[in-house]
Amino acid sequence: MKIYISVDMEGITGLVDHTHVDSDKHNYERSRIIMTDEANHVVTSAFKSGAEEVIVNDSHSKMNNLLIERLHPETQLITGDVKPFSMVQGLDESFSGAIFTGYHARAAQPGVMTHSMIFGVRNMFINDVAIGELGFNAYVAGYFGVPVIMVAGDDCAAREAEQLIPNVTTAVVKEAISRSAAKSLTPAKAGQLLQEKTALAIKNRDKVKPLTPPEKPLLSIEFTNYGEAEWANLMPGTEIVQGTTIVRFHAKDILEAYQAMLVMTELAMRTTFC
C-alpha cells in the first residue's frame, strides 16, 4: 500500500494569521516545526497502518517549509518550487489513497485564512462546481483513480471536504472564530487525533470513491479586480467574460485545467496597484 500526503500550512494546529505562514514573519519558524510534527503524526500512523511507502508533498507557498530531519526516516519528501503540479506533484495511479493535511476552506467562505491559491481569487469553478485548492487537488487525484481518504484542518475545511467527497474521514484540529482567530487543540492533542484519524481513514479507504473530474472541463476563475483578470488573460486560450473579472479556459482534461490555473494565478499576482 502506497499513501500520498499533501501538506498545506493554514490548516495546521494553532496557526491563525499571516505571521504564522509567511516566512518573513516572527511566528513562522515555530509554525513550521508544528507543521512538520503534524505531518509526521500522519506519516507515522500511515506506516503503522500498513503503508509500505509514503510520499509527502510540501504544498505551502514556496513549498520548502517542512523540516525533513524531523520526519519518519522512511518518508520521501517532495519539496521546493517550481513544481508542474504544485500541491499534487508526484500523485499518480500507483497510490492507494491521498491525505490532505493542514488544509483550509476555499476563498469567499468562512474559515481560518481562507483563499484559493492567491488572495486575488474570489471564486474558482470547474464547470458549475465551485472549488478551492482542496477540490481541485481532489479532482486531480480522481483523474488517477485515487480517493482522497482524509482531510485535516479547521472545521470549515472539514465541511467542505465532506460536501465534496462522501465518506471521507476528517480531522478537525481547530474551529474557526473568524478568518484570523480559532479555538485550537494543543499540538499534543492534535497529534493524537491525527494518528487516530489516519488509521481510521486507511482502514475505511475502500468506502471512499475517487472524485471523478468532468471530461474537457471548463475552468472559470473570478478575480478580485480587472487588472488581475487582464494579466491572467495573457495566457493563450483564455477569455474574459464581458462585464466581469471572470477568466475562462476550455481544457482538454483536468490536468491541463490545473496547470492553466497555476499559470493564470501566477500571472494575476503581477498586478500592481497605484
Mean pLDDT across 171-183: 98
Whether the Cβ atoms of residue 259 and residue 252 lie closer than 8 Å to each other:
no
pLDDT-derived band at 270 (thresholds 50, 70, 90) equals confident
Whether the Cβ atoms of residue 102 and residue 40 lie closer than 8 Å to each other:
no
Whether residue 273 is predicted with pLDDT greater than 60 in this model: the reply is: no
Mean pLDDT across 175-179: 98
What are the residues whose beta carbons fall under 8 Å from the beta carbon of 55, sequence distance 6 or more? 2, 3, 4, 5, 75, 76, 78, 90, 95
Residue 125 and residue 140: Cα distance in Å, rounded?
14
The position carrying cell 465541511 is: 159
Task: List the single range of 58-62, 151-155, 266-270 with lowest mean pLDDT.
Answer: 266-270
Whether residue 153 is predicted with pLDDT greater than 80 in this model: the reply is: yes
pLDDT-derived band at 274 (thresholds 50, 70, 90) equals very low
What are the residues whose beta carbons fall under 8 Å from the beta carbon of 106, sequence distance 6 or more? 114, 115, 116, 123, 124, 130, 131, 132, 133, 134, 135, 160
Whether residue 61 is predicted with pLDDT greater than 60 in this model: the reply is: yes
Q: Which residue has the higher pLDDT, 273 or 153?
A: 153
Local structure of 35: helix, strand or coil? helix
Q: Which pLDDT score is estimated for 272?
A: 58
Residues annotated as catalytic (active site), given as ranges: 115
pLDDT tens profile 107-146: 999 999 999 999 999 999 999 999 999 999 999 999 999 9
% of residues, the chain, pLDDT over 70 = 99
